[in-house]
Structure 1
Amino acid sequence: MDVSPVTLEGQLVRLEPLKPSHRDALFAAASDGELWNSDLTIVPASLEATEGYIREALEGKDKGIYLPFVIVHKPTERVVGTTRYRAITPPHRRVEIGSTWLSASAQRTGINTESKLLLLEHAFEQLECLRVEFLTDVLNVQSRAAIQRLGATFEGVFRAHMVMPNGRSRDSACFSIIASEWPDIRHRLKSRLSSGTEAKL
């Protein structure tokens, strides 16, 4: 299970390996909706904070626990957010998809669906994962609903799982997709995107 930097491309989005040169574009994406005002996600609130955010992600990549991406909206070539593989565990063929956020104008469009499809395809079909996990703040109703729409199974709540930047102790809702479920989920996600029912940016 060789989790190396890779570019993943669909019809609507391109996931590119996160680099220090993405700082300004990524902060512009965070500024669209001032995403840092929510205490449900960790989003950088300044150029300096974005630089630190990228540095931490790349340090995790060097340690083999993260593989971070920027999400590029292909029709406009604009960076609209970020996502990553987390908790990469090759001996058990398991990854988590997380640290995902999208600029306000990119939310509730097909961007998140296609991004997740690309990541799941790569995880199950190239990395040959047995399991892909999703963790989100138990209070983040929008995120939980989006994960469930992917077809992931809710497995429970990790209590006092994380300390958020404001000091709040976060409970995390855990979801998963396993390899045997992937063919049906892949078909449903592709059908959603091709039907035109997803909103456009």
Structure 2
Amino acid sequence: MPDWQPAATPPRAVLQGHFVCLEPLDSALHGDDLWQALQGPDSDPALWDYLPYGPFSERGAFDLWLSSHAASDDPLFFSVIELRQQRAAGLISLMRIVPTDGCIEIGHVIFGAPMQRSPASTEAIYLLAKLAFATLGYRRLEWKCDAANARSMQAAKRLGFSYEGLFRQHMVRKGRNRDTAWYSIIDREWPALANSFERWLAADNFDAEGRQQQRLGSLAAERKHD
């Protein structure tokens, strides 16, 4: 690519959607909601299993952890604000940000139980992917996870990421081996995938009880290989 120009650095700015908005993480503003969503009595007991931190048994340690992430530029953390309830329901980040190569990753995906497998969670990913490709000009968007994390691997496939391989004995996390599964979307795939996301997130794709009419994974596979 002889005419390649470096991509832009992600801004600390609000990303607005229909189900969620992503706000730069503010530990003071979002801390109460996030503690309830991620550590409250109705939180997902498996949420922290494959993350390098957590769970947190007391609020002080959780607040310190949030504050350190709020101050970071890479990873750049966002609170996911569920618009119907008007409260923070999870966290997500852009990380391993390399504008010179046009490469960026979505990581630290930490969604409270009600957000999981919902339009809100899908839209949060879509908003970051759209920012990376359509606004900032990145060439490659990555997704990486512990190869034992079946939920994350299924999510990557559903969201239209292509599996690229396994990094064996890549890390040690919480005293055990982590083999890392790598996935990506590249810029030439994004227009078709963006169309799939937008079709899936459209109001007419859900019935009165909120059930999807078309599956995102099917739409993504269909459009990606058109």
TM over 0.5: yes
Identical residues among aligned pairs (%): 32
Does residue 76 in structure 1 map to residue 85 in structure 2?
A: yes
Distance 2:9 2:34 in 1: 27
Render the CA deviation track for 1:138-168: whole Å, top value 9, x for unaligned. 111111111111111000112222332x311
TM-superposed deviation, 1:193: 1.4
Paired position in structure 2 for 1:105: 114
1:12 to 16, 19, 23: 19
Paired position in structure 1 for 2:156: 147
CA 29–129 in structure 1, closer or farther in 2 if over 3 Å, else same: same
- Structure 1 unmatched ranges of 5 or more: none
Paired position in structure 2 for 1:48: 60
Tell me, yes or no, if the aligned pair for 2:19 and 2:120 is still in contact at 8 Å: yes
Structure 2 counterparts to residues 32-181 of structure 1, below 5 A: 32-35=42-45, 38-41=48-51, 42-45=53-56, 46-61=58-73, 65-164=74-173, 166-181=174-189
Question: Alignment RMSD, CA only?
Answer: 1.9
TM-superposed deviation, 1:199: 5.0
Q: Give SS of 1:145's match.
A: helix
Distance 2:90 2:24 in 1: 12
CA 15–28 in structure 1, closer or farther in 2 if over 3 Å, else same: same
Greater RCO (CA < 8 Å, at least 6 residues apart): 1
Q: TM-score, normalised by structure 1?
A: 0.90
Q: Which runs of 4+ in 1 moved over 6 A?
A: none
Distance 1:168 1:123 in 2: 33
Tell me, yes or no, if the aligned pair for 2:47 and 2:110 is still in contact at 8 Å: no
Paired position in structure 1 for 2:5: none
TM-superposed deviation, 1:59: 4.2
Distance 2:103 2:60 in 1: 33
Tell me, yes or no, if the aligned pair for 2:167 and 2:181 is still in contact at 8 Å: yes
Structure 2 counterparts to residues 25-36 of structure 1, below 5 A: 25-31=33-39, 32-35=42-45
Q: TM-score, normalised by structure 2?
A: 0.80
- Structure 2 unmatched ranges of 5 or more: 1-7, 213-226
CA 169–135 in structure 1, closer or farther in 2 if over 3 Å, else same: same
Aligned residues: 196
Render the CA deviation track for 1:4-60: whole Å, top value 9, x for unaligned. 201101100010000121222211110232546642234442322322322332343
Q: Give SS of 1:60's match.
A: coil
Paired position in structure 2 for 1:185: 193
Which AA in structure 2 matches 1:196?
F
Distance 2:46 2:159 in 1: 25
CA 162–23 in structure 1, closer or farther in 2 if over 3 Å, else same: farther
